[in-house]
Structure 1
Amino acid sequence: MSKKAQPSALTRDEMQEAASRLRTYLREEMDIEAGQLPTEMLVEFIERDIGRLFYNRGLRDAETVVRQKVEDIADTLYGLER
């Protein structure tokens, strides 16, 4: 029985980078000043409650690419049959 892969949590460095980018975005695009803690909390919310949507989309997209490659290989092999 195999376990389902679970997305890993952001590392501390990744969290800080994401919070920094979010703070910059909020300041430059929305004219909102936010501190480190509120932006980290927002990143945690996105990671916990919204991130799975992006993760699952990435998995579906990867599955589509792999399926197409398998079909291409099968077609190539069929073409090599004598």
Structure 2
Amino acid sequence: MSLVSIPRQEKNQLIEDVQEYAEEQFGQPVGNITAEGLLDHILSLVTPYVYNQAIADTKRVLSDEWSRLDEELSVLERPMTRRR
């Protein structure tokens, strides 16, 4: 199972981008099947790192937000008085 799902139209554009890159950088034409295979392979290598970074970033944002909310809620606390 892939961690990323790219709509076909967008994937086709990425395949064209890979083909253009190969032609510009290496002077070699690359067919659709080869470009798609290369794209899929690169995505399988890179996606876990990007995904994990997104999770870490989300955890940091949520932690910061939780701290802010905790401070705001603390301000709303009422003092407790003891009755005798």
Q: What's the TM-score once normalised by structure 2's chain length?
A: 0.69
Cα deviation per residue 1:23-75 (whole Å; 9 max; x = unaligned)? 334445x2543232222111100122221111111111111111111111111
Number of the residue aligned with 2:82: none
Judging changes above 3 Å, is the alpha-carbon distance between structure 1 residues 80 and 25 closer, same or farther for their aligned structure 2 residues? Answer: farther
Judging changes above 3 Å, is the alpha-carbon distance between structure 1 residues 79 and 23 closer, same or farther for their aligned structure 2 residues? Answer: farther
Equivalent residue in structure 1 for 2:64, among 62, 68, 79 = 68
Question: Would you say 1:49 and 2:42 are equivalent positions?
Answer: no
* Counterparts of 1:62 and 1:44, CA distance in 2: 26
% identical equivalent positions: 21
- Please give the root-mean-square deviation of Cα atoms over the aligned residues, in Å: 2.1
How many residue pairs were aligned?
76
Structure 1: which 5+ residue stretches go unaligned? 1-5
- Return the offset for 1:19: 1.5
Tell me which stretches of 4 or more aligned residues in structure 1 moved more than 4 Å.
Answer: none
Greater Rg by CA = 2
Task: Give the residue type in structure 1 aligned to 2:59.
Answer: E
Q: What's the TM-score once normalised by structure 1's chain length?
A: 0.71
